[in-house]
Amino acid sequence: MDIKEILATIQKKPVSLFYGAGVCRDIGGPSGDQLFDSVKRQFPGGTSKDFFSYMNEVIEFDNSNRNEIEKSITNQLSSVSPDDEHRYLFSLPWRAILTTNYDRLPNLIQKTLDGRRLIVPVVNSDTDYPDDPTRPDLLFCFKLLGDIDYTFPKGGWMVLSSNDLKLAFHRRSLFFEMFHSLSSSGHIVYLG
């Protein structure tokens, strides 16, 4: 399928978006590997090759590291600002959006280009989720691993370690369930 076919499908059928770090790379965001390398340079001491396990070692060794790591990641992602292509991407008639990114990209766009839909970042299980999630005026963006605007243990915090994954299990399960209910009648496009 080429890009024209994908765009035609998005216009005709319910399609949801799942996006990763690659979507933000050309506007100043780091890749997952770059973010991990940066944290390893600033916080040496872990031995694991997996991000969440490494972070668990570093945070568990010295819990004050969590605040510093959160600040470091926030600083790296704060400069990410949407350009016209990102505004266009979010203006497409997505059924729902799911991301593993910590960035504020959906928060910065706020409204789709036509102004008829409000982008609603869902970062914690307390987010006001309407009885009718198919409301045509809202586009839900589920932040699976949290957001840089929330610090631990405030709801919606960045899931950094394997222990965080366990703590945020309910939140992630709820988001997957909501995303699934919105996207089950159509396709899912992954952009990474």
Q: Which DSSP string corresponds to 145-158?
A: T--TT--TTSTT--
This prediction has a pTM of 0.86
Residue 30, preceding peptide bond in cis (omega within 30° of 0):
no
Whether the CB-CB separation of 191 and 17 falls below 8 Å is answered with yes
Q: Does residue 61 sit within a domain?
A: no
Instruction: State the pLDDT at residue 161.
Output: 92
Q: Does residue 164 sit within a domain?
A: yes
Q: Does residue 15 sit within a domain?
A: yes
The domain total for the chain is 1
Percent of the chain with pLDDT over 90: 27
Q: Does residue 99 sit within a domain?
A: yes
pLDDT tens sequence across 86-121: 888 888 888 889 999 998 888 778 766 667 788 888
